[in-house]
Amino acid sequence: MLRDGQADFVEILIDNFLHVEPEDMATALDGAPVAFHIMHSRFLERTEAQLAFMASRIRTMARELRPFYISDHLLRFTVDGREVPFLPELDYGRTYDLVCQRVTSWQEQLGTPVLFENYPSIFDSGLEQPAFLERLFRETGAGLLFDVSNAVCAHRNCQLPLAAWDTLLERSTHFHVGGYEPSSEAPFVSLDLHGSPLADDTLDYLGRVFSRTSTAATISVERDNHVELEPWRADILAVRARWEQHA
Ligand SMILES: [Fe+2]
């Protein structure tokens, strides 16, 4: 897709490549612009000493590959010390001070402001997410990597109005979008599994997002399951069509 001009850049899930030499990454990418996405830093749970190796490796990669953003996730990997198979949302009412301090030190370790992705909320506590992020970004200098379909999932699951993101959207320039699917068991919720085509409500909202942001810089079309060229290409072309309608 890069060769055919359908994709303009690559967002690399960088923690999958920390063992690769940066020069080899650069050779493989052959000059394609890149962004970094971090999935498993667990920066809210690990100590600074534990994070030091990953941070130094990512900084080395960044010096070679010059990503135009580094992004990470605000979520949990453990509950009361136990590993869980599902990555739960933060408890926004109780964790602000800890998250603020951790975001500040993770950005210092990485040597750059970091973009954090919004969570596809399932429970009503997700209603607190936009206000929590607005305060966090104001106080830490971090920013939002706005995942359009995660906002749609939160809207479907806990009725968080899409308009709740408007203030954050005005300052956002980097976006994600992907497919969601219903959970396999009742009560059925929408999960960001990134294995199916973009849904109609996602594409409709994407049009609204584009109409509010004259400064959109990038959008990554995510595929984690059923990673096949043709359906992925179809999603990218659908996103391009929405962009062109609003450009
Ligand atoms: Fe995403």
163-197, pLDDT tens digit by residue? 999 999 988 999 999 999 999 888 899 999 998 99
Average pLDDT, the chain: 94
Query: For residues 35 and 13, what is the distance between their CA atoms, to the nearest angstrom?
Result: 9
Exposed, middle or buried: residue 24 (CB in 10 Å: 0-12, 13-18, 19+)?
exposed
Q: How far is the CA of 176 from the centre of ligand 1 (A)?
A: 5
Residue 222 clears pLDDT 90, i.e. is over it: yes
Ligand 1 centre distance from Cα of residue 124 (Å): 20
**CA 137 from centroid of its chain's CA atoms:** 15
- Give a yes or no: residue 154 inside a domain: yes
Share of the chain above pLDDT 90, in %: 87
Distance 121 CA to ligand 1 centre (A): 13
Find residue 175's DSSP bridge partners: 146, 219
| Inter-CA distances, 57 with 9, 43, 51, 76, 168, Å | 22, 15, 10, 23, 31
Confidence of residue 41 (pLDDT cuts 50, 70, 90): very high
**Residue 1 forms part of a structural domain:** no
Backbone angles phi, psi at 130, to 5 degrees: -60, -45
For residues 222-242, average pLDDT: 94
Question: What's 142's domain CATH number?
Answer: 3.20.20.150
Q: Ligand 1 center to residue 187 CA distance, Å?
A: 23
Does some domain include residue 71? yes
Mean pLDDT computed over 23-46: 96
pLDDT at 215 over 90: no
DSSP 118: P
Domain span at residue 29 reads 10-246
Largest Cα–Cα distance of the chain, in whole Å? Answer: 48
* 141 DSSP β-pair partners: none
Q: Residue 134, exposed/middle/buried by CB under 10 A (0-12, 13-18, 19+)?
A: middle
**pLDDT class of 130 with cuts at 50, 70, 90:** very high
Distance 30 CA to ligand 1 centre (A): 25
In a domain, 225, yes or no: yes
SS3 115: strand
The pLDDT value given to residue 196 = 93
82 backbone dihedrals φ, ψ, rounded to 5°: -95, 135
Tell me how many domains the chain contains: 1
Sequence-distant (≥ 6) Cβ neighbours of residue 175 within 8 angstroms? 145, 146, 147, 148, 209, 216, 218, 219, 220
Residue 207 has pLDDT above 80, yes or no: yes
Distance between Cα 117 and ligand 1 center (Å):
6
The proportion of the chain whose per-residue pLDDT surpasses 70, expressed as a percent, equals 98
CA–CA separation, 230 and 96 (whole Å): 42
**Residue type at 4?**
D
Q: What is the pLDDT of residue 212?
A: 83
3 located within any domain: no
Residue 5 is assigned to a structural domain of this protein: no
193 belongs to a structural domain: yes
In a domain, 240, yes or no: yes
State residue 214's pLDDT score: 66
Residue 216's pLDDT is 63
Residue 240 reports pLDDT greater than 90: yes
